[in-house]
């Protein structure tokens, strides 16, 4: 697989680090721009969450249990364990009767350092719902119960729940079911790999649901995108790049572990995917800003991201000691 340098990091005038990776932009005709190869097999990781939620949504399970728009939105997110996220997860459990102890992940503390510190200071034990994937797990547990499977089996690769999720991944990724590779995610559930460009394709379809042939799935996507735009904090958390981007009703962005980033742009009919091949997560903001700049998209969103994610490298003393520079060109 051919990768190219996406970012260079300089400390003074010496090149200290480089991040290799791939990028791909698709429109409804296919790949329109790329950096490196586009058809190698790439894990979605958490970038699949807005798709994994769809089997639950098409069955109307959120309505069946009276979940609010905000509560339903967290199914598609990797939340930072903020107070709002904990409140939402607890409310979902109260309404559905799902139990925290049935989740497969180990208890942990939230992603957000300030939240983690506050909980430690208050001597609060770690919990499963603090895990960034707990919204997805509740969503899958709901599906398992509806399918008549033991709720505790929702994470098993051969469960009906996971087979149905895999079919949805295949459908949204325009990939044959048998061409999807399956691994195990950080949180213990199956994770799906598809040809890299198809991650961009899926985000194009999320942004432009009129491209989805199946009316039920199309309707579920339309409703879910409306929820995510109304509650962008549920996709990650206040100030996080995914949330800053998804706050714009024209856009959706979702990160995945080990350097995966996916963006959809409704007005331009584009899906964009990035993978940093060393797994770094520090480049998500600069990937979005640079892609928007090169494609002439959303300068105001880029500015809002830049405000929170500077391109200079600061040391522990908050002095600027270097700079991160994008070097990729989305070649048409």
Does 258 participate in binding another protein (rule CB under 8 A)?
yes
> By CB under 8 A, what part of segment 131-170 binds another protein?
131
Q: Which residues of 18-48 are buried (b: 16+ CB within 10 A; e: fewer)?
A: ebbbbbbbbbeeebbbbbbbbeeebbbbbbb
CA dist., res. 72 & res. 155, Å (int): 20
- Only one of the segments 93-101, 209-217, 274-282, 289-297 lies at the binding site for another protein (rule: CB under 8 A); that segment is 274-282
> By CB under 8 A, what part of segment 10-29 binds another protein?
11-20
Does 316 participate in binding another protein (rule CB under 8 A)?
yes
The nearer residue to another protein, 114 or 303, going by C-beta atoms, is 114
Task: Report the residue from 31, 32, 84, 182 that binds another protein according to the rule CB under 8 A.
Answer: 182
Residues 6+ apart with CB under 8 A from 232: 242, 243, 244, 246, 247
Token pair for 225? 């995108």
The nearer residue to another protein, 300 or 319, going by C-beta atoms, is 319
The nearer residue to another protein, 181 or 308, going by C-beta atoms, is 181
Does 240 participate in binding another protein (rule CB under 8 A)?
no
The nearer residue to another protein, 67 or 193, going by C-beta atoms, is 193
Does 179 participate in binding another protein (rule CB under 8 A)?
no
Burial class (CB in 10 A: 0-12, 13-18, 19+), 83: exposed
The nearer residue to another protein, 29 or 317, going by C-beta atoms, is 317
CA dist., res. 16 & res. 168, Å (int): 42
DSSP-derived letter for residue 235 is G
The nearer residue to another protein, 279 or 299, going by C-beta atoms, is 279
3-state secondary structure of 210: helix
Task: Report the residue from 94, 120, 230, 327 that binds another protein according to the rule CB under 8 A.
Answer: 120
φ, ψ (nearest 5 deg) of residue 268: -100, -5
CB of 211 to another protein, least distance (A): 27
Task: Report the residue from 177, 181, 226, 329 that binds another protein according to the rule CB under 8 A.
Answer: 181
Which value, to the nearest 10 degrees, does the dihedral of the CA atoms of residues 164, 167, 172, 176 take? Answer: 170
- Only one of the segments 113-121, 203-211, 219-227, 248-256 lies at the binding site for another protein (rule: CB under 8 A); that segment is 113-121
Does 198 participate in binding another protein (rule CB under 8 A)?
no
CB of 173 to another protein, least distance (A): 15
Bridge partners of 323, per DSSP, are 10, 312
**Which CA distances in Å does 201 have to 8, 79, 329?**
28, 24, 20
Interaction site with another protein (CB under 8 A): 1, 3, 9, 11-20, 40-41, 43, 104-106, 108, 117, 120-121, 123, 131, 181-188, 191, 193, 258-259, 277-280, 315-319, 321-322
């Amino acid at each position: 697989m051919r990768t190219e340098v996406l970012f260079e990091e300089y400390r003074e005038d010496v090149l200290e680090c480089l991040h290799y990776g791939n990028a791909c932009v698709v429109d409804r005709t296919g790949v329109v721009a790329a950096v490196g190869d586009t058809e190698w097999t790439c894990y979605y990781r958490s970038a699949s969450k807005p798709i994994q939620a769809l089997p639950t949504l098409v069955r109307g399970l959120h309505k069946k249990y009276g979940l609010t728009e905000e509560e339903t939105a967290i199914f598609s997110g990797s939340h930072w364990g903020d107070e709002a996220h904990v409140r939402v997860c607890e409310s979902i459990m109260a309404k559905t009767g799902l139990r925290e102890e049935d989740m497969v992940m180990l208890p942990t503390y939230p992603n957000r350092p300030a939240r983690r510190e506050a909980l430690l200071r208050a001597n609060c034990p770690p919990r499963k719902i603090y895990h960034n994937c707990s919204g997805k797990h509740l969503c899958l547990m709901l599906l398992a119960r509806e399918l008549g499977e033991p709720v505790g089996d929702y994470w098993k690769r051969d469960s009906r729940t996971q087979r149905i999720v895999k079919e949805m991944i295949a459908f949204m990724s325009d990939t044959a079911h048998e061409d999807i590779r399956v691994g195990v995610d950080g949180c213990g559930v199956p994770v799906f790999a598809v040809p890299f460009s198809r991650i961009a394709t899926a985000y194009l379809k999320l942004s432009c649901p009129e491209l989805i042939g199946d009316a039920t799935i199309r309707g579920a996507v339309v409703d879910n995108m409306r929820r995510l735009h109304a509650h962008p904090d549920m996709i990650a958390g206040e100030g996080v790049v995914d949330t800053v981007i998804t706050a714009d009703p024209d856009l959706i962005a979702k990160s995945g572990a080990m350097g995966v980033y996916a963006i959809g742009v409704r007005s331009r009919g584009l899906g964009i995917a990035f993978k940093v091949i060393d797994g770094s997560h520090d480049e998500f903001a600069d990937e979005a800003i640079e892609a928007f700049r090169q494609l002439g998209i959303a300068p105001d969103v880029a500015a809002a991201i830049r405000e929170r994610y500077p391109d200079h490298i600061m040391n522990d003393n908050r002095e600027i000691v270097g700079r991160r520079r994008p070097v990729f060109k989305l070649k048409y």
